[in-house]
A and B are shown apart, each in its own frame.
Chain A
């Protein structure tokens, strides 16, 4: 063994390590020095023996290399004791078929330790890892070979990022979700743990802390509309997936992009000199951070005008952007003075001497100081140019709104006056110079010549990719998982389409066929028709004197009768009818079966029943809508629009009804939620959702029979809370087993399907009487 590069004092350790991997040797000395600096002698011994184990376990050089590098610092953060637990975890991984995950596990170790800080938290994390490993490491029946957990290595790659957003409890929930739903599906499991799938991100969003844009969208929308008269689409972008680039808010013709979440801003504790009389920095809620950001953007949209970029150098542009930012904020604060404390709290306050102007480029530092000086009248900066330009700025603003062009002049001159040799240095002083509520100012520049920046190419590419969009984009709905009482967020995609057309004459023919039934119904309907105003007589208190009764009573009184009738008034009562109805028709494959006891299919019978019912409701004048649904897995629930509330029972609707076809499965909950969002907007006093179905909720991708039944039951509960009464008309003679679970007592089973056309309108009438 060659030990040329090993210093003599480390020879002993090198021997103990007993490692033959080439790449280990050059880094050994460096790692040892660090280990000896931070670890106790006992710790160093363990460090070596652990590394030796990793080198001998037959996974190549990588594990030992990683371990040598990260272990000392990890132990320094968590305490040396924690290393035992970590090694125990490695050994479990090694004994299971998950050897491949050891390297990523060790790689993430240091970052995880930095986030968790304590050995106790680390233990929670390790428990989580072991549980994850245990549950996802699969074995196939009959073959005694086990497969490695598909998601585990990817999980370790993601975990530092996840822990920056989640607490350990949040992480546990996120992992739990992935393990539970994707245990049988290796590819999906990988998608989940690499944060590729939509629900993975949705669960992450649900578990994370801070103020979420989605929760406050309405408030912020109102903020823009109310205070700035500038309603604009707000689009979230995620900070979670792009640590390097650190996206900034911006706006373009598609809308305003904001981070998906803001944590509350808590000012760092700074040591302040006693003579510092200024008020201490205040914390700013996440919501107000959004508002600050929107105020800044709205101010740009109101007062900024694009200037031509080609004439300015990059430094000049930064200065112009900064002064323009200050200008629009100044104007915004003139409009709403209450913005000042928020801006003041969020704006960084760079120390004047924090930047070493000899060796670092202080361009950002200088400008941040200028910006602070403009915002904060009580700034402490001594730099003559900063003071001078802040004063010049205020002087200019006193005379009016100023303009972007004037800011450009000022920016150019500021850069010229304060130029330093070190400005060109690649080492830029960044600390405390980022104003995170400001946007990236892309709107401020107009380029005459096409530059070779990346964005210009991206634009061209995008133009080619754009495709015509077919139909409406899907609406995502959650689904209830009864097994652990949580919603699976954004689980089901509902696509709404207009039902294809057929021949409306077919429906007229059906109505003719049932002319006798229609006649009978008509009599019933006339009774139901609202009379609107009913006179109530014989009231002691009423709106009007009922003259006949009053006179009779008076005569009684005059003729000495002991008890004249005091009920001499009458009043009126409105007898209106205010019911909005939504008829949701199951169009699944089973409708194609022949109904028992007749030669028509259930579909044909439903068609007839629907036609008569529609005719009847139209006669009554209640607002009503019809929609069909079927599903082909959770990714494709189809909601077919047959009749809307504003449409009348005419040829258009009849033709859609005539073309009714059956196919696929029944994912009832999602369809009900979608139907409810239309019904909810109706202004009627009572809202009724009628579900016409012939079987239990089921779908090809749902293996657990109860799952969709429980989900539908949950949907009924949700609807109930929205004030919508759901009622099921079931054509399945065996429905007793499940329908009561879903709808409680709100259902009818029609055994003799042949009677459906007659029963359905009668049922409706009795329901709404």
Chain B
């Protein structure tokens, strides 16, 4: 039997609730309803799931999905060993066996045929057929499936199937309001409130440009990076250029505009 505790979240992660999402999640978990968290990158989706796992004191198994991922990467596969073949459970199967919260991060990155394997786990059946192994696994009563996705940047090709979407309850996440975000920055990094507010202002500039040359605005995560750099002694302007502007764009016009926004916000 796999050791459950290794998947437990040991320390309380910092999470700033923005609405009733914590209570709603708890309600969904009580009924073991599958949950989908949507929202732009770096706005705190994964942090939220981690926080909830800690709060509910349940193991959390996270899978970062990618395009090369196949169904067997989730479910499990036969491996070769000295005596022939040996079955190895995939993360989804492990979670269903031990009663963990299985978190499939950026689910749309995986191919659509891959995601179909989660269907039997997400309706009344709550089973996972392992056809290669010839086993029908009934999910542990504590098992819950959570997926996240970012509806913004994916192409039409990378949308979820309706049949997948309609198996989930969903939360819509967005970047927090300016005050809350500044608060998060200072709590997360111990940064002075005034500088946090300035960083948030620069973030807002980039978010205003979303869809006009930028696919995504500057995320809360990047703002945290910038704050961390400034805390480490880097000059604010340089830290912002490095953490906020260079990562998100190669477009010279946008870079120029954001650089100007930094200069305008952090006057010398």
Contact = CB atoms under 8 A, between A and B. Distances in A.
Interface string A544-560: 11010011001000000
B70 A225 contact: no
A339 interface: yes
B267 A222 contact: no
B74 to A, nearest CB: 12
A221 B79 CA distance: 57
A385 B260 CA distance: 36
B257 A547 contact: no
A338 B257 contact: no
Contacts of A218: 213, 253
Contacts of A222: 209, 212-213, 253-254, 257
A512 to B, nearest CB: 35
Interface in A313-349: 335-341
A438 to B, nearest CB: 18
A544 B265 contact: no
B264 A544 contact: no
B21 to A, nearest CB: 27
A339 B264 contact: yes
A341 B267 contact: yes
A226 B70 contact: no
B14 interface: no
Given A222-B254, A550-B85, A291 B260 contact: yes
**Residue from A291, A337, A341, A554 whose CB has the most chain B CB atoms within 10 Å:** A337
Contacts of A337: 264-267
Contact of B257 (A219, A229, A550): A219
A554 B80 contact: yes
B53 interface: no
A335 B80 CA distance: 64
A593 interface: no
B222 to A, nearest CB: 16
B84 A336 contact: no
A226 B257 contact: yes
A753 B258 CA distance: 57
B264 A227 contact: yes
B108 to A, nearest CB: 16
Interface string A220-239: 01110111010000000000
Given A337-B264, A338-B263, A219 B205 contact: no
A544 B73 CA distance: 9
B131 interface: no
Contacts of B257: 219, 222-223, 226-227
B209 A543 contact: no
A463 B179 CA distance: 48
Interface string B196-219: 000001000110110011000000
A579 to B, nearest CB: 15
A533 B257 CA distance: 43
Contacts of B72: 544
A336 B265 contact: yes
B261 A545 contact: no
Nearest to A568: B80
Interface string A68-100: 000000000000000000000000000000000
A413 B213 CA distance: 49
B16 to A, nearest CB: 24
A168 B9 CA distance: 74
A338 B264 contact: yes
A258 B56 CA distance: 59
B77 interface: yes
| A223, A340, A551: residue with the most chain B Cβ atoms closer than 10 Å | A223
A768 interface: no
A227 to B, nearest CB: 5
Contacts of B267: 336-341
Contact of A225 (B77, B155, B212, B266): B212
Given A544-B72, A550-B80, A223 B85 contact: no
B123 interface: no
B68 interface: yes
Chain A interface category by residue count = 20 to 34
A387 to B, nearest CB: 25
B256 interface: yes
A169 interface: no
A683 interface: yes
A547 to B, nearest CB: 7
B78 interface: yes
A543 B77 CA distance: 11
A335 B256 CA distance: 19
Given A222-B254, A223-B260, A544-B70, A229 B265 contact: no
A545 B261 CA distance: 53
B258 A226 contact: yes
A543 B265 CA distance: 49
Contact of B265 (A225, A338, A533, A545): A338
B105 to A, nearest CB: 19
Contacts of B212: 221-222, 225
B264 A225 contact: no
Contacts of B264: 227, 336-339
A550 B208 CA distance: 54
A226 B208 contact: yes
A568 B85 CA distance: 13
A533 B113 CA distance: 11
Interface string A273-305: 000000000000001100100000000000000
Interface in A517-564: 533, 543-545, 547, 550-551, 554
Contact of A338 (B77, B208, B266): B266
Interface string B93-133: 00000000000000000000100000000000000000010
Contacts of B68: 543
Contacts of B70: 543-544, 572
Interface in B215-268: 253-254, 256-258, 260-261, 263-268
Interface string A485-506: 0000000000000000000000
Nearest to A287: B256
Q: Residue among B201, B212, B260, B267 with the most chain A CB within 10 A?
A: B260
B67 to A, nearest CB: 9
A287 B265 CA distance: 17
Contacts of B205: 226-227
B209 A225 contact: yes
A621 to B, nearest CB: 13
B78 A227 contact: no
B199 to A, nearest CB: 14
A224 B256 CA distance: 13
A194 to B, nearest CB: 36
Nearest to B71: A544
Chain B CB within 10 Å, residue with most, of A227, A337, A533:
A227
Given A219-B257, A222-B257, A545 B78 contact: yes
A314 to B, nearest CB: 35
B80 A226 contact: no
A340 B266 CA distance: 11
Contacts of A223: 257, 260
B265 A226 contact: no
A521 to B, nearest CB: 27
Nearest to A222: B257
B153 to A, nearest CB: 13
A400 to B, nearest CB: 18
Contacts of A339: 264, 267
B155 A683 contact: yes
16 contacts: A219-B257, A221-B212, A222-B213, A222-B253, A226-B257, A227-B205, A227-B208, A227-B260, A288-B260, A337-B267, A338-B265, A339-B264, A544-B70, A544-B77, A545-B77, A547-B132
Given A218-B253, A223-B257, A545-B79, 4 more contacts: A226-B208, A336-B267, A341-B267, A544-B72
Interface of A: 218-219, 221-223, 225-227, 229, 287-288, 291, 335-341, 533, 543-545, 547, 550-551, 554, 568, 572, 683
- Interface pairs A-B: 6 shortest CB-CB: A337-B267, A338-B264, A336-B264, A226-B205, A222-B257, A338-B267
